[in-house]
Amino acid sequence: MINPPLKILQQFWNHKNFRPLQEDIISAVLDREDTFALLPTGGGKSICFQVPALLNKGICIVISPLVALMQDQVKNLQQKNIKAIALPSGIKYSELDTLLDNCIYGNYKFLYLSPERLQQDIVQERLKKMDINLIAVDEAHCISQWGNDFRPSYKKIEILRRIHPSVPMIALTASATTDVVNDIIKELDLFQPKVFKQSFFRANLGYRVEDVIDKNYRLTQILHTHSGSSIVYVRNRKSAVELSDFLNASGYVTTYYHGGVDRQEKTKRFNKWLNEEIRVMVATNAFGMGIDKPNVRTVIHYTIPESIESYFQEAGRAGRDGVLSLAFLLKNKNDNQRLHNQFIKVLPNTDTVKLVYRKLCNYFRISYGEGEQTVHDFGFNMFCKTYNLNTLTTYNVLQFLDRCGVIRFIQLFTKKSSIHMLSTGSHVLDFLENNPKNQTIIKAILRTYGGIFDDEVIINIPLIASKIGKSEKEIVTTLNKLQEANLLEFKYSISDAEVIFLVPREDDHTINRIKHHLVKQNTAKIKKVDAILQYTENNTVCKSTQLLLYFGEQDTKDCGICSFCINKDKTTKHIDPQKIQEDIIRLLKVKNLTSRDLLMQLSYPEKLTLKVLQEMNERQIIKINHDNNYQLV
Ligand SMILES: [Zn+2]
């Protein structure tokens, strides 16, 4: 007879077997032990609490930090005909009341809660009446100040312990250093927990950190040499669009993905990538959740990410199927400064947080002592412009206020401006002929959005503006003009986010209560940036070993496939510059070539090849002609 957990797995998940550690974790939970599970992304964390919860009567409470994560999991459970529910922010008291009643009387198996919801009296009262079989704390690293995504409200989860002292608790995370693990156990007050840690070692993943002069060129070279599905991570939306354009022009089938792409379009692009119609996804870190494509062969970081945690998670999307895959990190001398500007310089101080919070309250005309649980449409860019605030810093402030439970800051991708073409392409071209001033804007829109003549299309005005260096106002003016000429219908919406106030406005008092978190969070952030910089610069230890050490794993062995390990082998295999020279001459006898063509056709290290070329040029064996090609003298 098969054991009950396996039966549940086969029945609802259609998986034949458990993955490593899952079964041990589940049996610890079924023994009513407090449990700590550290499984890398893709290790099947949720099964560890969902399977035992289904085996017992009663309901499982799941604490999760992100609305999107909750909704994703609830949807997955519902598709399996399992009754699950999430309590989103900003719903009316009466709705909340009904939903909670369902949990008590409606045979629900899973209730997903944010830690903020947990603080509400009505929620606590109802929780007391529920027959709870398990408390699962997902993304448990959020409880630690040293974690990547610290949320002070996670510290209040222990209230569940007080309401239901005998219910077992399981804490789950995909990313935690030793400090963070100890913090989690302490803060959640886990009783003699059974700790399960899966090693983060990835035998089939080669971490390659490379110093390159021309990143675009190196990128095409990597994609040329290593076939198969790929993700290129870039630092912002603008780079995603630009780099995708560049790669498309270079003959690679790519698209881009970032937070500003509307939901439907995201799904479309994601599916095309999944089905191999698109080979390369150029993305910001918004491309993350739920990616379980097994055969990603390369993940390329075009810039240094903000922390080892993010890097490890993103790079780890390569080679899920166990086949040899590579994670490249391309860097050059500008990266350190950029990292500093993007992540350190924009860390807000207490005064900035106070200022932005006050402006935010003013913006929505919230009076002192009021505003709790009110929902507001929010145009982020407009807000920054109104008060002349730096966008990156302001964004960080809003995120901080969100984490601390002062507001909920939800970025929306549905309420966007849209255009609907009412005429054919030739009419538009006629119009442009007579209004040449509007050409840049219209052409940028036509180039950015395909299928624009077929359907109503959501457009991202800030994105277009940044792409062509015009102001948003200029774009709106132009589109209004085209609307007046009956060429298109233009719907303009300035809100791209929603703000929900969770506590009454008390100006500086509100911020004083949370300011100690800010200092700690900023310190943690700086430490993280230092750690990733050190990782990129340390060329004396195996890259895999460096990562594992960061996550507290000792006694590791060299991986044999990272940039350190392969170069260690290379130094023993001497490359003869004479041989390179001969190969260059051989190629140039057939045809004049640029240095790029030569690099592409020869598989020697870039630096060495360029050095040989330079010497040959100096010795007048070759010269550069007016087309920038090398030719034999
Ligand atoms: Zn190695």
Q: What is the 3-state secondary structure (H, E, C) of 65-80?
A: CCHHHHHHHHHHHHHC
Angle at 575 between CA 569 and CA 580, to 5 degrees: 145
CA of 572 to the centre of ligand 1 (A): 16
Which residues of the chain fall short of a pLDDT of 70? 1, 42-43, 89-90, 147-148, 289-290, 412-416, 494, 569-574
CA of 568 to the centre of ligand 1 (A): 9
CA of 563 to the centre of ligand 1 (A): 7
Nearest residue to 387 via CA among 358, 367, 408, 412: 358
CA of 613 to the centre of ligand 1 (A): 31
CA of 304 to the centre of ligand 1 (A): 19
Residue 228 confidence (pLDDT): 95
CA of 206 to the centre of ligand 1 (A): 7
- For residue 437, give Cα distances in angstroms to 248, 350, 415, 479, 541: 28, 45, 29, 12, 57
> How far is the C-alpha of 383 from the C-alpha of 104, rounded, in Å?
42
Nearest residue to 126 via CA among 99, 94, 156, 108: 99
The contacts of residue 324 (CB under 8 Å, 6+ apart) are 204, 206, 561
CA of 285 to the centre of ligand 1 (A): 25
> How far is the C-alpha of 313 from the C-alpha of 317, rounded, in Å?
7
> How far is the C-alpha of 462 from the C-alpha of 199, rounded, in Å?
43
Q: Which two tokens stand for residue 23?
A: 């079964």
Residue 178 confidence (pLDDT): 82
CA of 518 to the centre of ligand 1 (A): 37
Residue 381 confidence (pLDDT): 83
CA of 564 to the centre of ligand 1 (A): 6
CA of 329 to the centre of ligand 1 (A): 14
CA of 560 to the centre of ligand 1 (A): 5
CA of 21 to the centre of ligand 1 (A): 26
The rounded radius of gyration (Å) of the Cα atoms in the chain is 27
CA of 533 to the centre of ligand 1 (A): 18
CA of 279 to the centre of ligand 1 (A): 27
Residue 42 confidence (pLDDT): 66
- pTM more than 0.75: no
CA of 328 to the centre of ligand 1 (A): 13
CA of 566 to the centre of ligand 1 (A): 7
Nearest residue to 458 via CA among 484, 491, 424, 495: 491
CA of 546 to the centre of ligand 1 (A): 9
CA of 314 to the centre of ligand 1 (A): 18
Residue 569 confidence (pLDDT): 63
- For residue 287, give Cα distances in angstroms to 113, 168, 257, 263, 505: 24, 34, 7, 12, 35
Residue 232 confidence (pLDDT): 98
CA of 199 to the centre of ligand 1 (A): 16
Half-sphere CA count of 611, side-chain side, radius 13 A = 9
CA of 606 to the centre of ligand 1 (A): 21
CA of 278 to the centre of ligand 1 (A): 31
CA of 177 to the centre of ligand 1 (A): 20
CA of 189 to the centre of ligand 1 (A): 38
Nearest residue to 550 via CA among 534, 539, 561: 534
The contacts of residue 552 (CB under 8 Å, 6+ apart) are 177, 178, 181
Q: Which two tokens stand for residue 72?
A: 């994703």
CA of 524 to the centre of ligand 1 (A): 27
CA of 311 to the centre of ligand 1 (A): 16
CA of 240 to the centre of ligand 1 (A): 30
CA of 579 to the centre of ligand 1 (A): 28
Residue 366 confidence (pLDDT): 94
CA of 66 to the centre of ligand 1 (A): 35
Residue 548 confidence (pLDDT): 93
Residue 1 confidence (pLDDT): 65
User: For residue 201, which amino acid is it?
Assistant: F
Q: Which residues of 400-412 are buried (b: 16+ CB within 10 A; e: fewer)?
A: bbbbbbbbbbbee
CA of 140 to the centre of ligand 1 (A): 30
CA of 205 to the centre of ligand 1 (A): 10
CA of 204 to the centre of ligand 1 (A): 11
Residue 325 confidence (pLDDT): 95
